[in-house]
Structure 1
Amino acid sequence: MAARKPNHPLQRYEKRAGARLCYLPPPTPRAGTRSRSFLDVLRQALTGEEEISLDFVYGDTKDGRFIPLDGQQRLTSLYLLHWYLAVRCRVSDEERDFIKQFTYHTRFSSRDFCAKLATICPVLNDRRISEWLQDQHWFAGSWRKDPTVQSMLVVLDDVQALFAEVDDEACHVAWTRLTSEANPSITFELLSLEEMGLTDELYIKMNSRGKPLTEFEHFKAQFEQVLKEFEGALPATREQTGRYAKFTRKIDQDWADLIWTFRGANDNADEEFLRLFRFITDITIWRHGLDARPADEDLEATAKAIYGGPETEVTLAAQNNLFSVLDGLHAEFAFATTMADIDKWFRTLFADNEHRAGTVTIFGDVNLLDDCCRSYGLSQGRNRAFSLPRTLLLHAVIEYIVTDSRPSRDEIRERMRCLRNVIFASQNEIRVEIFRALLDEVSDYIVSGDLAALKSFNRAQVEEEVAKASFLLANRSVELGESMYRLEDHDLLRGNLAMFDLNVDERVFIRRARAFDAIFAGKTSYEEISQALLACGDYSQKIAGDRFQFASPSLPSVWRDLFVARSRPGVDNTKATLTELLDAVHDEGLVDIEATLRKISEDYLREAVASKKYDWRYYMTKYPAMRSGKSGIFISSSYEMGFDLCMMEQTRLSSYYSDPYVRAVLELAEVPQDKYFSVWHYGYAGYEADSRWSLYSSNNRHFLRITQEGFQIKSGRKSRIQAILDGHGVDGDGSLNVRQSTIAGIVFDRKDRVVMAADLVREIVKGED
């Protein structure tokens, strides 16, 4: 008999030599996989050679009967296992008579069910036991509402399923091993509270048994067993790790103190600890290339494979990492008594959505550890609730905490800033398939500060970080550094300064940074900004042969994609146009940005009118309706910007689109479109250059469409408005053409076609009324 000295009688346990301890709780209808796991352990003990102990059962003996205070579920499972094997083996009534001695005291219905069950011996077949029992005429209706009875029915079905493949001979062996008084295969220890000098009330306060173990309690017991068995299997010549003893101590002390701060609204931190444990374990799986899948739902099986696996050195490395991280986090946040304390720690490194001097904006909750404990392993639709980029950032924080050669606070802020920039620019590179390399490189970079370590991240962004560091080093200006960091922390840039020239005088860079910040401070609408940007030039980027990306009147993400792009055709034009706008805004003044932007647009339009050069850029600058497509995408069958354009509401042709010129005409004419015309088209079959007619709302007949030379008009009652058409120069086939000229390959109207068509439409609608 082996024993350890207890700190308290309730902590003592004893077991037979060779038997293993099982802390798994017995099943309930909600236990699912855990229920079958427990029963499977019992089945293996009965059909194999190993013995198993179910730990202590506490209670008292009265009038020759043992009345347990806890262990009800374990004892019930054993009772049902006895009943099943007795029925399966068709043992005599005399041999199974002892089963009748097991009963329930608290519920009459449970007591009656057990009494009835002990007297019957059904013939088992492929039908589930629960179905057979509930079909019997003597099955009381009250039993269907008794949770204890319903739990027992679930267990009986599980037992039946587990023994389905066990033959009759093996079942007889299992019955013998189960009922043997000399060498039983399943045992538990009785511990009398009276002998221990404890009252029922004191025991309940101390132990909180009598209800099923929580998922966390179950996991903790299982993991303790994993560590214990691993240590027991180490060669006698090898120094013991002591991890089992350390875990049992720390999980209820130091680590409990750490995680308690992260507890949820239920004043319980169990789930939070399990998510943190899963995070650390997944990092270990990735970094060591272990044969397990990160974020596997079966955390217990994963933990056993990683921290109790057969490869000793690999397993020890995994255990080292787990204990190192938990100990490091506990030491770092030992000062914290509230979540506000930990928030404050993270806010010395990070800011959430706005620039704050001395920190790095990460565009989300700054307390990465709290976010991990709340959401790691969960999903939001198809996405991870705790994303891979945030996983890398938290990994970097932990590496900073646990490394022996910890960087200074200034160094870690600088490294976190560069790392943030690189991570946010590496959307295409951050993939599960190469996550091991990404994690290793982050670790190397946090310790060394050498950007060359980030080999698997976006190469262009790493090179930009090197260039920015050289720019700052060459100038050593506090103002330059603050201007650059403020730019990097802008939501539309997120660390990427591809749109800014770093080979300029520091004063030029600073003034452009100020202009950008003033323009995109959130006080001016995107619609006004896009107008002024178009006035400065064609800033579009080609995202496909016939697709051109402009800014959106409402979506920041579209602007961000424009500003952080590096390889799209047209990126250089975007950069040159933005630079021209920033310089113009600086020259005009930053006091009233809206007035400045308006003046830039008006100056361009005034020059176009004076020279009578009306091209597509003029029309898009002049008329807000032509910039109203939410996606900012224009599609042209001629593969160039001009008069053949589809303005997209969404990103694909299978969504709604419209003709920007027709929309501008109807808006300028002040025609209520819902009353007279429909202009949106649904591109389920693609688009055709000559079929984008606006339609009469009343009969869906064609009314107005754009042509290369102008517009074409169709009227179902042309005779009534022929005079109007003639007066506006509309020819016989309904064409309203504009005189044009071509300069350097660009077609210019000599008059504003939108004004011409709007005047005509206004009169036609008036005539129709």
Structure 2
Amino acid sequence: MITKEYSFWDLITNYDIEIPAIQRDYAQGRKSESRIAKALISDLHDVLTSIETKKINLHFVYGKIDNDHLIPLDGQQRLTTLFLLHWFLSIGTLSESSKKTLSKFTYETRPSSEDFCLKLVKESLKYDSDKKVSEQIENAKWFFLSWKNDPTIAAMLNMLDIIQSKFVKPNENLFNQLIGDSSPIQFHFLPLERFKLDDKIYVKMNSRGKPLTEFENFKSNFSILFDDGNKSKLDNEWLDIFWKFEKEKAKININDVDKKYLNFIINATLNFCAETIDIDKKIKDNFNIFDEYQAVYQQNSESLKQMTIVLDALTAFSDKERIFEKFLEDDPDYWDRLRFYAIMQFFIKKGSINDSNTELYKRWIRVCFNLINNTLIQSPDTFYKAIRSIKKLSENIDNLYEYLATSENRIEGFLQKQGDEEKIKARLILDSKDWETEIFNIENHYYFAGQIGFILEFSKKNEIYDLALFKDYSSKLKTFFSSEYRENKDGLFQRALLTFGEYLVSINYCKTFCSFNSSLREKMDNWRKVFEDKDKKIFLKNLLDSISINNFENDLVNIIDNYSERDWKGLIIKNKGIIEYCDKYRIAQWGSKIALSRSPADNWRRHADLYSYALFLELKKDSKNVEYKDSSDDIPWIFINWKGKFYYIQEEDSKYSFGFCKGNNDQIGLEEMQQNVEKIILQKNLQKHN
């Protein structure tokens, strides 16, 4: 069998060379293959630069020719290396006609590889022999960060560095040798059609083909719906969005990037579905993108256009790390889905965020997030109703505050109270920029998170909202709900508040001084019950009215010191440490017994008794030789070392009992200790009275 010898330039002049998607990635340039690659480049360098006339034959390249397209079935690696060699030697001198020829080499293992080859040829590069050529390419404006994680592109960059290390700099003379009629680098080309062979031989000839991943399979089908420009973005600009989430990792796995990309498409598609379909749990849990995408994104459908707008906008979306990342998980919660749906709607209505619409975006996100973050959305029906509410609200995105301020319509799909609050705030903000500043300031607090209706209510004077009062109440509440006061400062805030009335809220069979945990469910079970109760919130307002922001700590202490009632509340108010003892600030009242939770209050395995624990705190002031033993039964213990000997104290049925422990039987010492303790009990009112 006689076959003709070809140079790379011979083939690419006559055919478009397309490396098919089923081929494996370019491997000859991998760092793990550097030894072999360096040997090959050294041989090619020797042939091109030798004084003597030398030639090298790179053996057979097998391929299929289809309408002037050459599809290599074996020889992909050598052809790619020759493409890179031609490009390197011609940097800065490649003519337009030669560019047109060299750009006929395309890579379809990934569209990003295809686009990289095209950019490499068509874009200019100001070559610097003192820098690695790979770094120069990566720093070029046209290079996408995500390309670093395309294994073919990574191998190409490494091969170019190897070529550079041998050839040092571009050389027009050597390039002209390569493309001339007597090119010293040749191979045999075997077109399979000539020998009546079909594609099945590929399986026998090249067992190294790679299976496509789930995402690549989906993307190959999904891309058919897009025009050529947007099809290219699927593996370039749009892929870059998701690569950025992995960029801080020491080693980036392209499969992790693809997974985020696929999750985004799945989650965005489910959002689109929820606009018109009453989704149920089955659809949510078994949503198959392969089954659903065609119905949602038919050619030129509105959803397809909207998806394109969203992806284009995300390429320049600076807030994505903060808001967007949870939407890329396998199963984000309903709140995360809705938060991103609100962002999607802004993009769909206004395009990308820019200088002209930044304030509009902030207003839109503020209102939507306030509605979302303060509504319990825990079922498919509450989710799709909220989706439709946001979509309807987005029709007024250009005049959102004006719409809220004047509309009599209820905002469906969200907590009605929150919707009504947004209307009040919209009217105030439209009335004064100062209101906007102060509202934003307190809304952004970690605990209030957009729900501040009770502060607005406190701020009314003669049925008119007073900005000065609002600022004062907001400043005080920000202090009490700050990290400094949340869990420490001796419970001054809670103890002072208790002097105005029993503000504790009920949870199951117990009561709580209110946890500061910030999950929506925790807030709704704790402080929001205070904010919403007509009596309890008056206690809070009265406390705030009784203190000055400039002297609040002393004011709290004075309020506590002036409390004179000798009741169970007084023990908690007067004794720092009792509230802090309680897990989740919970207590329970069983008959005459008031128990303090030490372990989660749902089981009460460990607990203390209010009166005996207050006695323990009092005894501890004068002696370190005292210990409190909370209990899983009904009677906690106080152990006390009195003059070197150990005794116990217990409180049961409104009576204290005293006794020996640890081998002690000193009756005189017991009586002396008992008399001393009983004086303290009487003085401090540490005994219940039936």
Q: Same fold (TM over 0.5)?
A: yes
Do the aligned partners of 1:542 and 1:569 also contact (CA within 8 Å) in 2? no
Pairing 1:417–2:369 present: no
**Match in the other structure for 2:269:** 281
**Corresponding residue for residue 9 of structure 1:** 16
Query: Does residue 1:220 correspond to 2:216, yes or no?
Result: yes
1:281–1:322 Cα contact (<8 Å) kept:
no
- Deviation (angstroms), 1:405: 9.6
1:592 to partner: Cα distance:
4.5
1:306 aligns with 2:292: yes
Give runs of aligned pairs for residues 460-475 of structure 1, distance below 5 A. Answer: 460-472=417-429
The aligned residue for residue 534 of structure 2 is 572
Q: 2: CA distance between counterparts of 1:318 and 1:634?
A: 62
Q: Structure 2: how far apart are the matches of 1:247 and 1:293?
A: 33
Cα contact 2:598–2:604 (8 A) shared by 1: no
Deviation at 1:575, TM superposition (A): 1.3
Counterpart-to-counterpart distance in 2, 1:390 and 1:724: 65
- The DSSP-based 3-state class of the residue aligned with 1:515 is helix
1:631 offset after TM fit, Å?
Answer: 0.9
1:136-176: per-residue Cα shift (whole Å, max 9, x none)? xxxxxxxxxxxxxxxxxxxxxxxxxxxxxxxxxxxxxxxxx
Which structure is richer in relative contact order (CA contacts within 8 A, separation 6 or more)?
A: 2
Cα distance 1:226–1:371, how it changes in 2: closer, same or farther (>3 A)?
Answer: closer
Conserved in 2, the CA contact under 8 Å of 1:472 and 1:481? yes
**Alpha carbons of 1:328 and 1:493: their partners in 2 closer, same or farther (altered >3 Å)?**
closer
- Is this contact kept in 1: 2:215–2:258, CA < 8 A? no
CA distance in 2, matches of 1:570, 1:296: 36
Using a 3 Å threshold, how does the CA distance of structure 1 residues 11 and 434 change in structure 2: closer, same or farther? farther
Deviation at 1:627, TM superposition (A): 1.0
CA shift for structure 1 position 643: 5.3
The reply to whether residue 530 of structure 1 matches residue 494 of structure 2 is yes
In the aligned structure 1, how far is the partner of 2:283 from the partner of 2:199?
37
CA–CA distance in 1 between the matches of 2:522 and 2:382? 29
2:395 alignment counterpart: 447
CA RMSD of aligned residues (A): 4.8
The answer to whether 1:485 aligns with 2:473 is no
Identify the residue that residue 250 of structure 1 maps to in structure 2: 233
1:658-697 correspondence to structure 2 within 5 Å:
658-670=608-620, 677-682=627-632, 688=634, 691-694=635-638
Q: 1:584, CA displacement in angstroms? A: 1.7
In the alignment, which of 389, 393, 415 is matched to residue 339 of structure 2? 393
How far residue 400 of structure 1 moved from its aligned partner, in angstroms, is 0.4
Letter in 1 for 2:573: T
| Contact 2:531-2:537 within 8 A present in 1 as well | no
Structure 2 distance, partners of 1:7, 1:620, is 92
Check 1:286–1:704 CA distance in 2 against 1; reply closer, same or farther (3 A cut): farther
User: Cα–Cα, structure 1 residues 226 and 423, in superposed 2: closer, same or farther, change >3 Å?
Assistant: closer
1:598–1:671 distance in 2 versus 1, CA, 3 Å: closer
Cα–Cα, structure 1 residues 729 and 457, in superposed 2: closer, same or farther, change >3 Å? closer
Query: Does structure 1 retain, via aligned residues, the 8 Å contact 2:341–2:387?
Result: yes
Q: Which residue of 1 aligns with 2:172?
A: none
The DSSP-based 3-state class of the residue aligned with 1:713 is: strand
TM-aligned CA deviation for residue 621 of structure 1: 1.0
Where does residue 685 of structure 2 map in the other structure? 753
The separation in 2 between residues aligned to 1:578 and 1:7, in whole angstroms, is 85
C-alpha separation in 1, matches of 2:667 and 2:334: 67
Distance 1:569 1:528 in 2: 19
Q: Which amino acid aligns with 1:508?
A: L
AA in 1 matched with 2:513: F
Instruction: Provide the C-alpha distance between the structure 2 equivalents of 1:497 and 1:692, rounded to a whole number of angstroms.
Output: 42
Match of 1:325 in 2: 307
Measure, in 1, the Cα distance between the counterparts of 2:454 and 2:672. 51
In 2: Cα distance, 1:481 partner to 1:259 partner: 35
Q: Residue in 1 aligned with 2:74?
A: 68
Call closer, same or farther: CA 1:504–1:8 in 2, change over 3 Å. Answer: farther
Structure 1 residues 417 and 366: alpha-carbon distance in aligned structure 2, compared to 1, 3 A threshold: farther
Offset of residue 540 of structure 1: 1.0
C-alpha separation in 2, matches of 1:708 and 1:7: 103
Taking a change above 3 Å as real, the CA distance of residues 420 and 258 of structure 1, as seen in their structure-2 partners, is closer
Q: Which residue type is aligned with residue 473 of structure 2?
A: R
Shift of 1:393: 1.1
Q: Cα distance, 1:593 vs. partner?
A: 3.8
Matched with 1:101 is: none
1:307–1:319 CA contact under 8 A, matched in 2: no
Note the C-alpha offset of 1:392.
1.0
Q: How far apart in 2 are the matches of 1:542 and 1:430?
A: 23
| 1:187 CA displacement | 4.6
The change in CA–CA distance for 1:68 and 1:556 in structure 2 (over 3 A counts) is closer
Q: 1:633 Cα shift? A: 0.8
Secondary structure of residue in 1 paired with 2:620: coil
TM-score where L is the length of structure 1: 0.53
Judge conservation of contact 2:583–2:599 (CA < 8 Å) in 1.
Answer: yes
Spell out, residue by residue over 1:589-632, the C-alpha distance to the aligned partner (whole angstroms, 9 max, x if none).
x2344333323322x24xx1xxxx31111110111232121311
Q: 2:259 corresponds to which residue?
A: 271
Deviation at 1:401, TM superposition (A): 0.5
- Matches of 1:441 and 1:719 in 2, distance apart? 77
1:517 to 472, 478, 485: 478
Distance change (3 Å), C-alpha of 1:244 and 1:465: closer
In the alignment, structure 1 segments of 5+ residues that lack a partner are 1-5, 14-21, 26-57, 72-182, 194-199, 201-208, 229-241, 337-341, 347-364, 378-383, 739-750, 758-769
Alignment of 1:258-657 (within 5 A): 258-264=241-247, 265=249, 266=251, 268=254, 269-289=257-277, 302-308=288-294, 316=298, 320-330=302-312, 332-333=313-314, 336=316, 342-343=317-318, 346=319, 367-373=322-328, 376-377=329-330, 386-403=332-349, 408-427=357-376, 429-448=377-396, 449=400, 452=409, 454-472=411-429, 476-502=431-457, 504-505=460-461, 506=466, 507-524=468-485, 525=488, 527-544=491-508, 546-552=509-515, 560-561=523-524, 564-566=527-529, 571-586=533-548, 590-602=549-561, 604-605=562-563, 608=564, 613-628=565-580, 629-638=582-591, 644-657=594-607
Q: Structure 2: which 5+ residue stretches go unaligned?
A: 1-12, 25-58, 64-71, 78-195
Give the AA of the match of 1:670. K
Specify the code of the residue in structure 2 equivalent to 1:517: K
